[in-house]
Amino acid sequence: MKNILVTGGAGFIGSHVVRELLRLDYHVYCIDNFDNFYSRKQKMRNISDSANHQHFHLIEKDILDIDAFSTIQNCNIDCIIHLAAKAGIRQSIENPFNYNEVNIQGTLKVLEFARKNGVKKIIHASSSSVYGINTDIPWKEIITDLKPISPYASSKIASEDLCYVYHNLYNLKCVVLRFFTVFGPGQRPDLAIHKFANLINTGKEINLFGNGETKRDYTFVDDIVAGIIAAIQYEQSNFEIFNLGNNYAVSLKDLIDAMEEVFKLKIKRNYLPVQAGDVPVTFADISKAKEILNYKPVVSLNEGLEKFKQWHMDYYKIIDYK
């Protein structure tokens, strides 16, 4: 494979994927609409290292636009890494129609482009949110009784189903990757670690929902990227689902303790009830990805927080707090 399309390539995970693909000498076509969910400045900085690379092509379009893919119809795209989506649990509860449109209809448009243009493979970014409230932890891909509790989660299940439909109808190779709480440099400002870092550095208290007992399987972005690259090379079957996590659930309290250690600042805490749409725990069984993709997460929580802290310090030297 040589030519790869990355949707959402200026975003958090997407920009890391783009950099690694360019390092590996792929030709990268990036579609991103620079959605105003957060600062365009951050997204531009995300792709600043890639922007002038001779094999990088940026298409500033929305995947829902009728002409979004027109400029790459003759580019012989071999693989699509579909990362573009409306993200955020709480925001999806406030605006479910928008999440349905982007995450389901947008995925359908990507799949139709693939079908009509002879794309060999789709790698689709899904989420641990699809498991919902499920006590059978750590979660395995074989779980069929999915219990989503947010419009975001249900939209991700629907998009996974669309991938299977196109695999079944058109023999399109599809790899679905369920990401577990990805963090690292370039992280969206609405996500916990980035939001907490902003509050820590301005001396404000942190709201801990659920008394800090909720747990997440925090996974460093470089490990996720390694899993995506492995999925590009995967050829054993034409449809598979893999968990990409760290196989280690960390409580919110323990995350704050780790951030205190890394940032070397005392954190003010305000405990509040659980918010609607939040699941009590996410915890990935990654044995399938380990065995088949040779996926091996190597970055610990504290090591990842150190890397995030350095990025955060550098970023906010030149970008105003939002």
Q: Which of 99, 152, 218, 295 is catalytic?
A: 152
Q: Give, as one character, the DSSP assignment of residue 36.
A: T
In whole angstroms, give the CA distance from residue 7 to residue 21.
Answer: 13
Residue position matching structure tokens 């989660």: 153
Tokens linked to 64: 């829902």
- The DSSP annotation for 161-189 comes to HHHHHHHHHH--EEEEEEE-SEESTT--T
**13-28 in b/e burial notation, b at 16+ Cβ within 10 A?**
bbbbbbbbbbeeebbb
Q: Give, as one character, the DSSP assignment of residue 292.
A: H
Strand partners, 126: 178
Q: Give, as one character, the DSSP assignment of residue 138.
A: S
Count of Cβ atoms closer than 10 Å to residue 43 Cβ? 24
Tokens linked to 84: 């573009």
Phi and psi torsions of 44, nearest 5°: -65, -40
Q: Do 152 and 97 contact (CB within 8 A), yes or no?
A: no
218 is catalytic: no
Sequence-distant (6+) residues with CB within 8 A of 278 are 89, 209, 210, 214
In whole angstroms, give the CA distance from residue 212 to residue 254.
Answer: 8
Sequence-distant (6+) residues with CB within 8 A of 307 are 184, 185, 220, 299
As annotated, the active-site residues are 152
